[in-house]
Structure 1
């Protein structure tokens, strides 16, 4: 009997552990702060708003506070091209603002998506690769030391070179993504692969239409690219959530979800600029956010609108 009880306990523990890795334990509390760290793709915010909208629509009672703190041009490697932004400023490094972001926001869950800028859009170089790896490992330690309860890593999105397509800079990102997936699994980190599903999607589309693109400039995906990212996140968190192939298809015949998404995107945009200004950063050229007191009032007002939709 003792042996059977031990086997049962081990089986239960294993099931719970696997469930956590797959995201089946999605049960964030109302008001819990969920932070997204990343570069300009995260700053654009569509995939973050799509994710939040779908999670709110499926779990209306649990309403965590999603905070987008993506910063354009940013890296975790601390590297920059000699003539970045026509020489106006070097790429900002996350670690220059991280302490302030964590101290002022105090997130309990953090999503992390870097890599696109860390290879500096140049051919693969081992020194740059090591700088990226060191930055990821350093960031994980910092988040753990801060007491973050759940850290979710994401591989960098696909890069679609205007001329070379997937045979250009994306080859560098392939290696970065492969390393992150392997290292995360070895360390038992929670990870969502965005890169290779996006790559497979792009490859399939190019086979049918050589002119098809996910990102006009190769870097910044449009709505479809953001949806492919959000789709992987939602499927990770709630594996049985029914999802369509495009964002428009998800919104089709769902007027409340469309309204919810518009409100969530509006709220995230207001709060994103407010938090970036409040926490501080070294990247010039961004919109100045409104004071946090005013932003909190705007958040509450939009939250009231969301509740009237039934979410």
Structure 2
């Protein structure tokens, strides 16, 4: 697909993008990378990024038997999320939890497909562009005590969970990712591959250091989130890969990025609780939305000052 924006397609004056997903989106570092990029390189455009990621959530409605609580399902909150945020675009990232860490099953795969298609359809019905990201990969080499926790195929269904995942769960996620990328215009306005990009990143890092840890096997660390942000920038906004990589590298240890991330998480927690969800755990430190907006505004002056310190171009 052609990017929505780029050198020959300038950004609009305002754009509101909502992100739905599981704990990887709940962490939101990849969204903060996007926010930091646009603040620095496109200050004339008002691009608002709202993360509504909820830990443990699925699009399929499935949950493993011994999960501490029934996994939340995005469909339980979708109508309110769309009504409250009024987005121009919605980016969704599901799949990691949807296979519920079991071997591949056509029944579970069908539940994922049906749930994601229903999600994308409802986003479009609300008048927003529907953008599907692939699930990220499962990295068993980074799983703490992986040798003790990983299970072979063929065990009773009740044996598998996020605590004791199927050893080749990556094969399940690869199938899910390939299906997402096969979606045509009739189902999604765009698809974004993060699965293969993250696998390539992990392979390159592990070639240099065989002990490299990409995260905890399920959740990528910040470098993985940077790769996700680069995929979104390239696919949706036409940002050259080298430029996106250079920007992500410049954010390592940056006081500017830390402030952007702080503001992002403040507003994400407030929005998530404002919309509501069925995860029994409340977002840590979440303020009412009105109070969060006041605190976020207090961070703005310093963020703008640090963004303006850069000599980077203000165009994509």
Please state which band the TM-score falls in when normalised by the shorter chain.
Answer: 0.7 to 0.9
CA–CA distance in 2 between the matches of 1:186 and 1:207?
40
What TM-score do the two structures reach when normalised by structure 1? 0.83
Contact 1:50–1:261 (CA under 8 A) maintained in structure 2: yes
2:198 is matched with 198
Matched residue pairs, number? 284
Instruction: Specify whether residues 170 and 187 from structure 1 end up closer, same or farther in structure 2 by C-alpha distance, changes over 3 A only.
Output: same
Contact 1:110–1:152 (CA under 8 A) maintained in structure 2: yes
List aligned pairs for 1:92-241, cutoff 5 A: 92-148=72-128, 150-161=129-140, 162=143, 163=146, 168-184=168-184, 187=187, 189-215=189-215, 217-236=216-235, 237-240=237-240
Q: Structure 1: 5+ residue runs without aligned partners?
A: 1-16
Instruction: Specify whether residues 156 and 188 from structure 1 end up closer, same or farther in structure 2 by C-alpha distance, changes over 3 A only.
Output: closer
Contact 2:5–2:11 (CA under 8 A) maintained in structure 1: no
Instruction: Please say which of residues 128-137 and 301-310 is displaced more in the overlay.
Output: 301-310
CA–CA distance in 2 between the matches of 1:156 and 1:298?
33
CA shift for structure 1 position 207: 4.0
CA–CA distance in 2 between the matches of 1:73 and 1:39?
6
Q: Using CA pairs under 8 Å that are at least 6 residues apart, name the structure with larger relative contact order, 1 or 2.
A: 2
SS of corresponding position for 1:157: coil
CA shift for structure 1 position 274: 0.7
Contact 1:243–1:250 (CA under 8 A) maintained in structure 2: no
Contact 1:24–1:238 (CA under 8 A) maintained in structure 2: no
SS of corresponding position for 1:119: coil
List aligned pairs for 1:1-311, cutoff 5 A: 18-20=2-4, 25=9, 27-30=11-14, 32-85=15-68, 89-148=69-128, 150-161=129-140, 162=143, 163=146, 168-184=168-184, 187=187, 189-215=189-215, 217-236=216-235, 237-240=237-240, 242-244=243-245, 247=248, 249-251=249-251, 258-286=254-282, 287=284, 289-311=286-308
Contact 1:55–1:234 (CA under 8 A) maintained in structure 2: no
CA–CA distance in 1 between the matches of 2:262 and 2:127?
30
CA shift for structure 1 position 23: 9.6
Instruction: Please say which of residues 296-305 and 199-208 is displaced more in the overlay.
Output: 199-208
CA–CA distance in 2 between the matches of 1:288 and 1:27?
34
SS of corresponding position for 2:46: coil
CA RMSD across the alignment? 2.6
Q: Structure 2: 5+ residue runs without aligned partners?
A: 151-165, 309-316
CA shift for structure 1 position 239: 2.6
1:12 is matched with none
Contact 1:21–1:190 (CA under 8 A) maintained in structure 2: no
Instruction: Specify whether residues 21 and 169 from structure 1 end up closer, same or farther in structure 2 by C-alpha distance, changes over 3 A only.
Output: farther
CA–CA distance in 2 between the matches of 1:23 and 1:238?
7
CA shift for structure 1 position 262: 1.8
Contact 1:77–1:134 (CA under 8 A) maintained in structure 2: yes
CA–CA distance in 2 between the matches of 1:264 and 1:223?
14
Deviation digits for residues 261-287 of structure 1 (CA, Å, limit 9, x no counterpart): 222211111111111111111101232
**Structure label with greater radius of gyration:** 1
